Structure 1
Amino acid sequence: MDLFTHQVDPSKNWLPMDGVVQYFGAIMPKEEADQYYQTLLENIPWEQDVVHMFGKRIVTKRKVAWYGDKPFDYTYSNSTKKALPWTPALQKLKDIAETLTNETYNSCLLNLYHSGEEGMGWHTDNEKELKEQGAIASFSFGADRKFVFKHKTTKEKVELFLDHGSLLVMKGATQTHWLHRLPLTKKVLVPRINLTFRTIISV
Protein backbone atom coordinates (compact mmCIF):
# COMPACT_ATOMS: atom_id res chain seq x y z
CA MET A 1 0.00 0.00 0.00
CA ASP A 2 1.22 3.49 -0.80
CA LEU A 3 1.37 5.24 2.57
CA PHE A 4 0.86 8.62 0.92
CA THR A 5 -2.63 7.54 -0.21
CA HIS A 6 -3.57 6.31 3.28
CA GLN A 7 -5.72 9.13 4.56
CA VAL A 8 -5.82 10.08 8.23
CA ASP A 9 -7.65 12.91 9.97
CA PRO A 10 -5.03 15.45 11.15
CA SER A 11 -7.65 17.26 13.23
CA LYS A 12 -8.25 14.20 15.42
CA ASN A 13 -6.92 14.40 18.97
CA TRP A 14 -5.52 10.97 19.83
CA LEU A 15 -5.46 11.73 23.56
CA PRO A 16 -8.70 11.32 25.53
CA MET A 17 -7.82 14.15 27.95
CA ASP A 18 -5.13 16.48 29.30
CA GLY A 19 -3.31 17.24 26.06
CA VAL A 20 -3.38 17.25 22.27
CA VAL A 21 -1.69 14.81 19.88
CA GLN A 22 -2.45 15.07 16.16
CA TYR A 23 -1.15 12.63 13.55
CA PHE A 24 -0.96 13.72 9.92
CA GLY A 25 0.19 10.37 8.54
CA ALA A 26 2.59 10.32 5.61
CA ILE A 27 2.62 13.90 4.32
CA MET A 28 4.77 13.31 1.23
CA PRO A 29 5.19 10.66 -1.51
CA LYS A 30 7.40 7.69 -0.63
CA GLU A 31 10.06 8.77 -3.15
CA GLU A 32 10.41 12.15 -1.45
CA ALA A 33 10.51 10.56 1.99
CA ASP A 34 13.21 8.17 0.73
CA GLN A 35 15.30 11.14 -0.41
CA TYR A 36 15.03 12.90 2.95
CA TYR A 37 15.94 9.65 4.72
CA GLN A 38 19.11 9.17 2.66
CA THR A 39 20.10 12.83 2.93
CA LEU A 40 19.72 12.84 6.70
CA LEU A 41 21.42 9.48 7.13
CA GLU A 42 24.46 10.49 5.08
CA ASN A 43 24.88 14.21 5.82
CA ILE A 44 24.03 14.69 9.50
CA PRO A 45 27.09 14.48 11.83
CA TRP A 46 25.50 11.81 14.01
CA GLU A 47 27.02 11.25 17.44
CA GLN A 48 26.28 8.75 20.17
CA ASP A 49 24.26 10.28 22.95
CA VAL A 50 25.79 10.56 26.41
CA VAL A 51 23.44 10.63 29.39
CA HIS A 52 24.13 10.76 33.10
CA MET A 53 21.79 8.72 35.26
CA PHE A 54 22.13 7.62 38.88
CA GLY A 55 25.72 8.86 38.96
CA LYS A 56 26.72 6.85 35.90
CA ARG A 57 27.81 8.01 32.44
CA ILE A 58 25.96 6.02 29.78
CA VAL A 59 26.79 6.07 26.05
CA THR A 60 23.74 5.10 24.00
CA LYS A 61 23.67 3.08 20.79
CA ARG A 62 21.15 5.59 19.49
CA LYS A 63 22.78 8.58 17.80
CA VAL A 64 21.66 12.19 17.95
CA ALA A 65 22.19 15.68 16.51
CA TRP A 66 20.95 19.12 17.61
CA TYR A 67 20.17 22.07 15.29
CA GLY A 68 18.64 25.51 15.69
CA ASP A 69 18.19 29.13 14.61
CA LYS A 70 20.98 30.02 17.06
CA PRO A 71 23.65 27.93 18.85
CA PHE A 72 21.14 27.14 21.61
CA ASP A 73 22.25 25.07 24.57
CA TYR A 74 19.92 22.18 25.35
CA THR A 75 20.32 20.04 28.46
CA TYR A 76 18.60 16.72 29.08
CA SER A 77 19.66 13.68 31.13
CA ASN A 78 22.39 15.95 32.59
CA SER A 79 24.05 16.33 29.18
CA THR A 80 24.29 19.66 27.28
CA LYS A 81 24.41 20.12 23.50
CA LYS A 82 24.98 23.24 21.38
CA ALA A 83 22.85 23.67 18.26
CA LEU A 84 24.33 23.52 14.77
CA PRO A 85 23.03 25.79 11.95
CA TRP A 86 20.22 24.44 9.77
CA THR A 87 21.01 22.32 6.72
CA PRO A 88 18.91 22.92 3.57
CA ALA A 89 16.96 19.69 4.17
CA LEU A 90 16.21 20.54 7.79
CA GLN A 91 15.14 24.07 6.85
CA LYS A 92 12.66 22.64 4.30
CA LEU A 93 11.26 20.18 6.82
CA LYS A 94 10.97 22.95 9.41
CA ASP A 95 8.97 25.04 6.91
CA ILE A 96 6.68 22.06 6.19
CA ALA A 97 6.13 21.42 9.89
CA GLU A 98 5.32 25.07 10.56
CA THR A 99 2.85 25.22 7.66
CA LEU A 100 0.99 22.02 8.55
CA THR A 101 0.87 22.54 12.31
CA ASN A 102 0.38 26.32 12.24
CA GLU A 103 3.15 26.66 14.85
CA THR A 104 6.70 28.04 14.82
CA TYR A 105 9.89 26.22 15.86
CA ASN A 106 13.48 27.35 16.38
CA SER A 107 15.31 24.10 17.04
CA CYS A 108 15.34 20.38 16.26
CA LEU A 109 16.59 17.28 18.06
CA LEU A 110 17.37 14.42 15.68
CA ASN A 111 17.52 10.74 16.69
CA LEU A 112 18.91 7.81 14.69
CA TYR A 113 17.74 4.36 15.78
CA HIS A 114 19.71 1.71 13.90
CA SER A 115 17.09 -1.02 14.42
CA GLY A 116 14.16 -1.98 16.60
CA GLU A 117 16.61 -3.01 19.30
CA GLU A 118 17.15 0.70 19.97
CA GLY A 119 14.36 2.81 21.44
CA MET A 120 13.46 5.31 24.12
CA GLY A 121 11.99 4.67 27.57
CA TRP A 122 9.13 6.56 29.20
CA HIS A 123 9.84 10.29 29.38
CA THR A 124 8.41 13.78 28.83
CA ASP A 125 9.93 16.62 26.81
CA ASN A 126 9.68 19.24 29.53
CA GLU A 127 13.23 20.53 29.98
CA LYS A 128 13.54 24.05 31.37
CA GLU A 129 14.86 25.44 28.06
CA LEU A 130 11.66 24.47 26.21
CA LYS A 131 8.68 26.76 25.78
CA GLU A 132 6.03 25.80 28.33
CA GLN A 133 3.23 23.86 26.60
CA GLY A 134 4.96 24.58 23.29
CA ALA A 135 4.21 22.38 20.30
CA ILE A 136 6.66 19.64 19.30
CA ALA A 137 6.46 18.45 15.69
CA SER A 138 7.87 14.97 15.06
CA PHE A 139 8.87 13.64 11.62
CA SER A 140 9.59 9.93 11.07
CA PHE A 141 11.72 8.54 8.24
CA GLY A 142 12.72 4.93 7.62
CA ALA A 143 11.27 2.07 9.65
CA ASP A 144 7.66 2.21 10.80
CA ARG A 145 7.67 2.10 14.61
CA LYS A 146 5.11 1.92 17.39
CA PHE A 147 4.87 5.06 19.57
CA VAL A 148 3.09 4.93 22.92
CA PHE A 149 1.65 7.53 25.31
CA LYS A 150 0.83 6.82 28.99
CA HIS A 151 -1.12 9.14 31.28
CA LYS A 152 0.87 9.94 34.42
CA THR A 153 -2.13 9.54 36.74
CA THR A 154 -4.60 7.11 35.17
CA LYS A 155 -1.89 5.00 33.40
CA GLU A 156 -4.16 4.87 30.33
CA LYS A 157 -2.17 4.15 27.15
CA VAL A 158 -2.56 5.32 23.55
CA GLU A 159 -0.61 3.60 20.75
CA LEU A 160 0.15 4.82 17.22
CA PHE A 161 2.27 3.45 14.38
CA LEU A 162 4.41 6.20 12.86
CA ASP A 163 4.88 5.73 9.12
CA HIS A 164 7.80 6.61 6.86
CA GLY A 165 7.47 10.29 5.90
CA SER A 166 4.87 11.00 8.57
CA LEU A 167 4.32 13.95 10.90
CA LEU A 168 2.96 13.98 14.45
CA VAL A 169 2.49 17.00 16.73
CA MET A 170 2.25 17.09 20.53
CA LYS A 171 0.97 20.30 22.11
CA GLY A 172 -1.01 21.87 24.92
CA ALA A 173 -0.64 20.10 28.27
CA THR A 174 0.60 16.83 26.74
CA GLN A 175 4.09 16.99 28.30
CA THR A 176 2.58 17.86 31.71
CA HIS A 177 0.21 14.90 31.92
CA TRP A 178 1.54 12.24 29.54
CA LEU A 179 4.73 10.18 29.19
CA HIS A 180 5.75 8.77 25.82
CA ARG A 181 8.17 6.13 24.57
CA LEU A 182 9.48 4.27 21.52
CA PRO A 183 9.29 0.57 22.52
CA LEU A 184 11.97 -1.94 21.59
CA THR A 185 11.12 -4.61 19.03
CA LYS A 186 13.06 -7.43 17.37
CA LYS A 187 10.77 -7.26 14.33
CA VAL A 188 12.33 -4.05 12.94
CA LEU A 189 15.72 -4.55 11.31
CA VAL A 190 16.21 -1.22 9.51
CA PRO A 191 16.97 2.30 10.84
CA ARG A 192 14.50 5.00 11.77
CA ILE A 193 15.30 8.72 11.81
CA ASN A 194 13.18 10.95 14.02
CA LEU A 195 13.19 14.77 13.91
CA THR A 196 11.51 16.68 16.74
CA PHE A 197 11.10 20.37 15.99
CA ARG A 198 10.62 22.41 19.17
CA THR A 199 10.95 25.90 20.63
CA ILE A 200 13.80 26.94 22.91
CA ILE A 201 13.18 29.98 25.12
CA SER A 202 16.03 32.49 24.74
CA VAL A 203 17.45 33.78 28.02
Structure 2
Amino acid sequence: MKKTIARSFIATALLLTVTSCGADGKQTNPATDGCAELLGKSGMEWAQKEAGGEELERSGVSLHSAREEYYRQMDPWDPEASRWESELCTMSAGTPGDRKFLKLEFGPSSLPFDFDDKKKPDGVVTITNEDVKLHVTKDFKGVTHFGIYVKCKIPGTSPRQGNITPLAGVLTDTLTEGASQTTHLTHLLHSTRVMVDSLGCENNPSIPSHPPA
Protein backbone atom coordinates (compact mmCIF):
# COMPACT_ATOMS: atom_id res chain seq x y z
CA MET A 1 0.00 0.00 0.00
CA LYS A 2 1.08 3.50 -0.75
CA LYS A 3 0.15 6.87 0.65
CA THR A 4 -2.39 8.99 -1.19
CA ILE A 5 -0.40 11.54 -3.18
CA ALA A 6 -2.20 14.59 -4.54
CA ARG A 7 0.21 15.14 -7.40
CA SER A 8 0.14 11.72 -8.98
CA PHE A 9 -2.88 10.16 -7.25
CA ILE A 10 -1.04 6.83 -7.01
CA ALA A 11 -2.52 4.23 -4.68
CA THR A 12 -2.36 0.60 -3.83
CA ALA A 13 -4.04 -2.20 -5.73
CA LEU A 14 -6.12 -4.51 -3.60
CA LEU A 15 -7.07 -7.47 -5.76
CA LEU A 16 -9.63 -9.83 -4.31
CA THR A 17 -11.52 -12.67 -5.97
CA VAL A 18 -15.12 -12.94 -4.83
CA THR A 19 -17.40 -15.77 -5.93
CA SER A 20 -21.14 -16.24 -5.66
CA CYS A 21 -23.55 -19.13 -5.84
CA GLY A 22 -26.64 -19.54 -7.92
CA ALA A 23 -30.06 -20.67 -6.72
CA ASP A 24 -28.99 -24.30 -7.09
CA GLY A 25 -26.04 -23.76 -4.75
CA LYS A 26 -23.44 -24.15 -7.48
CA GLN A 27 -20.66 -21.61 -7.84
CA THR A 28 -21.32 -19.07 -10.57
CA ASN A 29 -19.06 -16.50 -12.19
CA PRO A 30 -17.12 -14.16 -9.85
CA ALA A 31 -19.34 -11.57 -8.18
CA THR A 32 -19.25 -8.02 -9.46
CA ASP A 33 -16.14 -5.98 -8.72
CA GLY A 34 -16.11 -2.27 -8.08
CA CYS A 35 -16.28 -1.40 -11.78
CA ALA A 36 -19.97 -2.07 -12.33
CA GLU A 37 -20.85 -0.81 -8.86
CA LEU A 38 -19.13 2.56 -9.34
CA LEU A 39 -19.65 3.24 -13.03
CA GLY A 40 -23.12 1.76 -13.44
CA LYS A 41 -24.54 0.41 -16.68
CA SER A 42 -23.98 3.58 -18.73
CA GLY A 43 -20.40 3.93 -17.51
CA MET A 44 -19.58 0.33 -18.32
CA GLU A 45 -21.08 0.69 -21.80
CA TRP A 46 -19.05 3.88 -22.31
CA ALA A 47 -15.79 2.17 -21.36
CA GLN A 48 -16.51 -0.84 -23.55
CA LYS A 49 -17.41 1.36 -26.51
CA GLU A 50 -14.32 3.53 -26.09
CA ALA A 51 -12.17 0.41 -25.91
CA GLY A 52 -13.17 -0.32 -29.49
CA GLY A 53 -14.91 -3.57 -28.73
CA GLU A 54 -11.83 -5.24 -27.23
CA GLU A 55 -12.44 -7.64 -24.38
CA LEU A 56 -11.77 -5.85 -21.10
CA GLU A 57 -9.96 -7.52 -18.22
CA ARG A 58 -11.30 -6.37 -14.86
CA SER A 59 -10.00 -6.42 -11.30
CA GLY A 60 -10.49 -4.57 -8.05
CA VAL A 61 -12.22 -4.78 -4.70
CA SER A 62 -15.96 -4.54 -4.17
CA LEU A 63 -17.64 -1.44 -2.82
CA HIS A 64 -18.33 -3.31 0.42
CA SER A 65 -14.66 -4.23 0.86
CA ALA A 66 -13.57 -0.65 0.13
CA ARG A 67 -16.01 0.67 2.73
CA GLU A 68 -14.68 -1.75 5.36
CA GLU A 69 -11.09 -0.72 4.60
CA TYR A 70 -12.04 2.96 4.81
CA TYR A 71 -13.60 2.49 8.25
CA ARG A 72 -10.59 0.50 9.46
CA GLN A 73 -8.34 3.45 8.60
CA MET A 74 -10.63 5.91 10.35
CA ASP A 75 -11.13 3.99 13.62
CA PRO A 76 -9.67 5.57 15.56
CA TRP A 77 -9.22 8.72 13.48
CA ASP A 78 -5.71 10.15 13.69
CA PRO A 79 -5.14 13.36 11.69
CA GLU A 80 -1.42 12.55 11.42
CA ALA A 81 -1.77 8.96 10.22
CA SER A 82 -0.76 7.74 6.78
CA ARG A 83 -3.64 6.96 4.42
CA TRP A 84 -4.10 4.90 1.31
CA GLU A 85 -6.74 4.37 -1.32
CA SER A 86 -8.43 1.15 -2.42
CA GLU A 87 -8.36 0.24 -6.08
CA LEU A 88 -11.99 -0.57 -6.73
CA CYS A 89 -11.79 -0.89 -10.48
CA THR A 90 -9.21 -1.52 -13.17
CA MET A 91 -10.28 -2.31 -16.72
CA SER A 92 -7.58 -2.99 -19.29
CA ALA A 93 -7.18 -4.09 -22.88
CA GLY A 94 -4.43 -4.43 -25.45
CA THR A 95 -1.24 -6.39 -25.90
CA PRO A 96 1.19 -7.04 -23.02
CA GLY A 97 3.55 -4.36 -24.29
CA ASP A 98 0.85 -1.82 -25.00
CA ARG A 99 -1.97 -2.20 -22.49
CA LYS A 100 -4.46 0.58 -21.95
CA PHE A 101 -6.33 0.90 -18.67
CA LEU A 102 -9.01 2.74 -16.75
CA LYS A 103 -8.61 2.82 -12.98
CA LEU A 104 -10.81 4.12 -10.15
CA GLU A 105 -9.48 4.52 -6.60
CA PHE A 106 -11.01 5.91 -3.41
CA GLY A 107 -9.83 6.31 0.17
CA PRO A 108 -9.17 8.71 3.04
CA SER A 109 -6.96 11.56 1.84
CA SER A 110 -3.51 12.24 3.27
CA LEU A 111 -4.07 15.90 2.39
CA PRO A 112 -6.64 18.27 3.90
CA PHE A 113 -9.55 19.61 1.87
CA ASP A 114 -7.86 23.03 1.66
CA PHE A 115 -4.57 21.54 0.34
CA ASP A 116 -4.44 24.22 -2.36
CA ASP A 117 -4.84 27.26 -0.09
CA LYS A 118 -1.22 27.73 0.99
CA LYS A 119 0.55 26.54 -2.14
CA LYS A 120 -0.65 26.29 -5.71
CA PRO A 121 -0.55 22.61 -6.72
CA ASP A 122 0.23 21.21 -10.14
CA GLY A 123 -2.72 21.07 -12.50
CA VAL A 124 -6.09 22.76 -12.13
CA VAL A 125 -8.25 22.80 -8.99
CA THR A 126 -11.95 23.56 -9.39
CA ILE A 127 -14.23 24.25 -6.43
CA THR A 128 -17.53 22.58 -7.27
CA ASN A 129 -19.29 23.51 -4.04
CA GLU A 130 -18.41 23.82 -0.35
CA ASP A 131 -18.04 20.05 -0.07
CA VAL A 132 -16.35 19.10 -3.34
CA LYS A 133 -13.14 19.98 -5.19
CA LEU A 134 -11.91 18.61 -8.51
CA HIS A 135 -8.20 18.38 -9.30
CA VAL A 136 -7.00 17.57 -12.80
CA THR A 137 -3.29 17.04 -13.34
CA LYS A 138 -0.80 15.18 -15.54
CA ASP A 139 2.08 12.99 -14.43
CA PHE A 140 5.58 12.92 -15.92
CA LYS A 141 4.40 10.45 -18.57
CA GLY A 142 1.67 12.81 -19.73
CA VAL A 143 -1.14 10.68 -18.31
CA THR A 144 -4.07 12.73 -16.98
CA HIS A 145 -5.37 12.04 -13.48
CA PHE A 146 -8.90 13.24 -12.65
CA GLY A 147 -9.06 13.72 -8.89
CA ILE A 148 -11.76 14.63 -6.41
CA TYR A 149 -11.86 15.61 -2.73
CA VAL A 150 -15.05 15.46 -0.68
CA LYS A 151 -15.71 16.56 2.88
CA CYS A 152 -17.04 13.30 4.29
CA LYS A 153 -17.63 13.16 8.05
CA ILE A 154 -17.38 9.55 9.22
CA PRO A 155 -19.56 8.63 12.23
CA GLY A 156 -17.70 8.70 15.55
CA THR A 157 -14.91 11.03 14.43
CA SER A 158 -14.08 14.62 15.38
CA PRO A 159 -16.11 17.41 13.75
CA ARG A 160 -12.83 18.51 12.11
CA GLN A 161 -12.30 15.18 10.38
CA GLY A 162 -14.19 16.01 7.18
CA ASN A 163 -11.88 18.96 6.50
CA ILE A 164 -8.61 17.39 7.66
CA THR A 165 -9.15 13.92 6.20
CA PRO A 166 -11.62 14.18 3.32
CA LEU A 167 -12.55 11.42 0.93
CA ALA A 168 -10.15 11.34 -2.02
CA GLY A 169 -10.74 9.67 -5.36
CA VAL A 170 -9.05 9.51 -8.73
CA LEU A 171 -9.87 8.30 -12.21
CA THR A 172 -6.79 7.49 -14.29
CA ASP A 173 -7.50 6.56 -17.88
CA THR A 174 -5.48 5.64 -20.95
CA LEU A 175 -8.22 3.31 -22.21
CA THR A 176 -10.63 6.05 -23.33
CA GLU A 177 -8.12 8.83 -24.01
CA GLY A 178 -10.29 10.27 -26.77
CA ALA A 179 -13.07 11.12 -24.32
CA SER A 180 -13.39 14.72 -23.17
CA GLN A 181 -12.42 16.02 -19.74
CA THR A 182 -16.10 16.73 -19.05
CA THR A 183 -16.97 13.11 -19.79
CA HIS A 184 -14.24 11.81 -17.49
CA LEU A 185 -15.27 14.12 -14.66
CA THR A 186 -18.93 13.23 -15.08
CA HIS A 187 -18.15 9.53 -14.61
CA LEU A 188 -15.87 10.36 -11.67
CA LEU A 189 -18.64 12.36 -10.01
CA HIS A 190 -21.12 9.53 -10.50
CA SER A 191 -18.67 7.04 -8.98
CA THR A 192 -17.98 9.40 -6.08
CA ARG A 193 -21.69 9.71 -5.35
CA VAL A 194 -21.90 5.92 -5.11
CA MET A 195 -18.89 5.85 -2.77
CA VAL A 196 -20.30 8.62 -0.57
CA ASP A 197 -23.62 6.79 -0.28
CA SER A 198 -21.77 3.63 0.72
CA LEU A 199 -19.71 5.42 3.39
CA GLY A 200 -22.73 7.11 4.93
CA CYS A 201 -21.10 10.52 5.39
CA GLU A 202 -22.84 12.26 8.29
CA ASN A 203 -22.65 15.70 6.66
CA ASN A 204 -24.45 14.52 3.50
CA PRO A 205 -22.08 16.18 1.00
CA SER A 206 -23.68 17.32 -2.23
CA ILE A 207 -22.10 15.60 -5.25
CA PRO A 208 -23.18 17.21 -8.54
CA SER A 209 -24.03 15.19 -11.62
CA HIS A 210 -21.73 17.19 -13.89
CA PRO A 211 -18.61 19.35 -13.45
CA PRO A 212 -18.93 23.15 -13.62
CA ALA A 213 -19.21 24.49 -17.15
Fold shared, TM-score > 0.5 on shorter chain: no
Q: Highest relative contact order (Cα 8 Å, sep 6+), 1 or 2?
A: 1
| Structure 1 or 2: more helix by fraction | 2
- Larger Rg: 1 or 2? 2
| Structure 1 or 2: more strand by fraction | 1
